[in-house]
Amino acid sequence: MSENKIVGGDERLKKNAGSSVREDRASADAERVTTDGTALSIEERRRMMRSEWNQEVLPTPPANPGWHYCWLSTTSSADPIYKRVQKGYEPVKVSEIPGFAQYSVTQGEFEGCIACNEMVLFKLPEELYQDYMAYLHHEYLWNITVLPNRLFQMIQIKTD
């Protein structure tokens, strides 16, 4: 009698008479990773998930100590550029960053600045950027989440 029994005439459903224990899923996945690369490790899945949220259409300017760079949209009515300029943001000129000449605006309001599609590169002094981030991520969030809850709790205590 043959060691391998074919079930229903299908070669893929072959049973091995010598093995009565089925292998666990983890070892099958590990084997598949090493043999054909179809299964992803946890780290590969994390990397894939993170890259899904990254926008890599816009070029990344080189680091410049003392400055924070960001791309601002010329089409956003919720966050217009003039408001950012009032806060201290400055458009970056092509002459300031070597290798960005292909992104130069040739006419209009941002002539001579670096742009890609409707996005214009701006810079902000690092100290001011850190102040804004501290406010937005700490004080502002505390004011709109924690403080209203505490006030609500105080009102409830007084009315009870």
Could you list the residue range(s) of the whole structural domain that residue 30 is in?
Answer: 4-53
Angle among Cα 148, 152, 157 to the nearest 5 degrees reads 150
Residue 10's Cβ-count burial label (10 Å; 0-12, 13-18, 19+) is exposed
Is a pLDDT exceeding 60 seen at residue 28? Answer: yes
Structural domain contains residue 160: no
Mean pLDDT for 47-65 is: 82
Is a pLDDT exceeding 80 seen at residue 92? Answer: yes
Q: What is the pLDDT of residue 141?
A: 72
Q: Which residue has the tokens 């009515």?
A: 77
Q: Which residues of 33-67 are buried (b: 16+ CB within 10 A; e: fewer)?
A: eeeeeeeeeeeeeeeeeeeeeeeeeeeebeeeeeb
34 and 102 co-located in one domain: no
Mean pLDDT for 135-145 is: 77
Ranking 58-67, 131-140, 150-159 by mean pLDDT, the lowest is 150-159
73 and 137 co-located in one domain: yes
34 and 97 co-located in one domain: no
Is a pLDDT exceeding 60 seen at residue 3? Answer: no
DSSP letter string over 47-66? HHHHHHH---SSPPPPP-TT
18 and 86 co-located in one domain: no
36 and 110 co-located in one domain: no
Structural domain contains residue 41: yes
Q: Which residues pair with 116 in a beta bridge?
A: 119
81 and 122 co-located in one domain: yes
Q: What is the pLDDT of residue 1?
A: 46
Angle among Cα 152, 155, 156 to the nearest 5 degrees reads 85
Q: What is the pLDDT of residue 155?
A: 72
Q: What is the pLDDT of residue 48?
A: 80
Mean pLDDT for 37-48 is: 76
If you average pLDDT over every residue of the chain, what do you get? 80
Q: What is the pLDDT of residue 159?
A: 61
| Largest interatomic CA distance in the chain | 87
81 and 48 co-located in one domain: no
| Model pLDDT for residues 93-108, shown as the tens digit of each residue | 999 999 999 999 999 9
Number of folded domains that form the chain: 2
101 and 147 co-located in one domain: yes
Structural domain contains residue 62: no
d(CA 127, CA 129): 5
83 and 140 co-located in one domain: yes
d(CA 151, CA 66): 40
Q: Which residues pair with 5 in a beta bridge?
A: 15
